[in-house]
Every structure is written in structure tokens, then in C-alpha cells.
Amino acid sequence: MRILVVEDEKKVADFIKRGLKEEGYAVDCACDGEEGLFSVRDNEYDLVILDLMLPKVDGLMLCKKLRSEKNNTPIIMLTARDSVQDKVKGLDAGANDYLPKPFAFEELLARIRAVLRVKNSASSTVLRVGPLVLNMITHKVTREGKEIELSSKEYALLEYLMRNQGAVVTRTMISEHVWDINFDTFTNVIDVYINYLRNKVDQGFKVKMIHTVRGRGYTLKEE
């Protein structure tokens, strides 16, 4: 999952980014509304965390612009304005949720999971591909009941592959969804992490689930 944080307070932005990356999300940051608007238009995000009081273009206007352009990327407004009227304005502008500052990071994570569940039109918090099971709440991964220990980046990569089961995902697609905007596409990092996953997900099992499609990318499938 790739998230954009639009926040002009650098300490707050860095805190959110660091926490989200530890949870396995790919995170980009924008320091004003204009940069945030350009970022959402130019990149595909799964969710935007949007401050209300921003320079150049405020959060309310940014949200309205995106919705007027038929951009339905989920938005969580995160702001010091916590009156009922401010919340109503934010939700009416098209935000999916509204969390006032100061906030508990655990609550932000829970709200992110809730919004993404709605986006994916699934009440379940579990991804399944044959014997492979990924729980998005506990981050527990099992195959045939055997638990698989993954790093946060390995987990994010596996989640992306499972969400696109049977389809070929290119290195560019993986870099856009699992790594952030500063990722160097000329490195072999993606290939390295695919090998890490193979060693953990496929090793010891007769049927291999992670496959290389030569010249195109990778795919995960049941057989």
C-alpha cells in the first residue's frame, strides 16, 4: 500500500512517515497543498493523509479539487481543527475520515485499515491464495498453517502480490506500490526481495507460488 502524507509541519510529517514505514507502507510526503495536488495527479496512491491548514492550497480546497476531477483516492483529514463544523466541512468536501490532532498513532493506523477495507469492498481483513494466508490486522502470514516470519518490506511486497494474484506485476508497478517516490529503479533491490520471499514462502513446499515471468515481472498463483 502506498500512502501520501500532505503535511507542512516537518516534525509531524516525519513522525507519520516513520511510523507508517515501520508498518510496511510505502510513504511519500508533500509539504504544501499544491505539491500534494500534483503528487496525487501524477502518482497512484492507495490513501492520502491530508492536513487541513496548508500553504498555497488548503486541504479543504485540495480535497474538493480531487473529487471534482473524479479522483476517488481515500482521504483521511488530520488537523488541529476539531469543531463539529470543521469535521462536517471536511467530510462534505469528500474526505473519508477526519482525525483531530493530537492523535494516538494506533488510532490513525486503525482508521487507515478501516478506510482501505471500504476501498477494497471487502469486509474481510484476510487475503488468501490457496494455502497462503495473510492477516492484514495482525500481519501474520501462514502457509498450510505454518507461520512465516517476514520483515515489513517483505510483508508489503507479499501483500501486493497477493492482491494481484494471477496477474503479472512489473518491477515498475512494484516500485510504485511497495517503495516510495525516491526509489532507485536501476537497483536490483526488488529482485533481492523477491528472492527473500521465495526462500520464506516457497522453500520446503512442493508447489512454488512465486514465479518470474521473463522480460515482464513476477506473478503469484496457487499452482
Q: Are residues 89 and 13 in the same domain?
A: yes
Q: What span, in angstroms and rounded, lies between the C-alpha atoms of 59 and 46?
A: 18
Say yes or no: 7 and 73 in one domain.
Answer: yes
Stretch 93-106: mean pLDDT: 91
pLDDT at 195: 95
Give the structural domain span for 202: 126-220
Q: Of 96, 119, 142, at which residue does a domain stop?
A: 119
Provide the number of structural domains found in the chain.
2
CATH code of the domain containing 202 = 1.10.10.10
Residue 124 has pLDDT above 70, yes or no: no
When the pLDDT of each residue in the chain is averaged and rounded to a whole number, the result is 89
Asked whether residue 115 carries a pLDDT value surpassing 70, the answer given is yes
Q: Are residues 113 and 30 in the same domain?
A: yes
In the predicted model, is pLDDT for residue 67 greater than 50?
yes
Question: Do both 36 and 100 map to the same domain?
Answer: yes
If asked whether residues 197 and 102 sit together in one domain, one would say: no
Same domain, 77 and 148: no
pLDDT at 122 over 80: no
For residues 212 and 133, state if they share a domain.
yes
Same domain for 136 and 78: no
* Residue 61 burial (10 A CB sphere; 0-12, 13-18, 19+): middle
Examine the domain organization and report whether 6 and 115 are in the same domain: yes
- Give 123's pLDDT tier (boundaries 50, 70, 90): very low
- 103 and 185 together in one domain: no
Backbone angles phi, psi at 146, to 5 degrees: -90, 125
Give the domain CATH number at 33: 3.40.50.2300
- Four-CA torsion 92, 94, 97, 98, nearest 10 degrees: -60
16-41: pLDDT as tens digits: 999 998 888 889 999 999 999 999 99
Closest CA to 159 of 174, 144, 181, 145: 174
Note the pLDDT of residue 178: 87
Does 104 lie in the same domain as 31? yes
The full DSSP string for the chain is -EEEEE-S-HHHHHHHHHHHHHTT-EEEEESSHHHHHHHHHHS--SEEEE-SS-SSS-HHHHHHHHHHTT----EEEEES--SHHHHHHHHHHT-SEEEESS--HHHHHHHHHHHHHHHTT-S--EEEETTEEEETTT--EEETTEEE---HHHHHHHHHHHHTTTS-B-HHHHHHHHS-TT--TTSSHHHHHHHHHHHHHTTT-SS--EEEETTTEEEE---
Query: Do 143 and 110 fall within a single domain?
Result: no
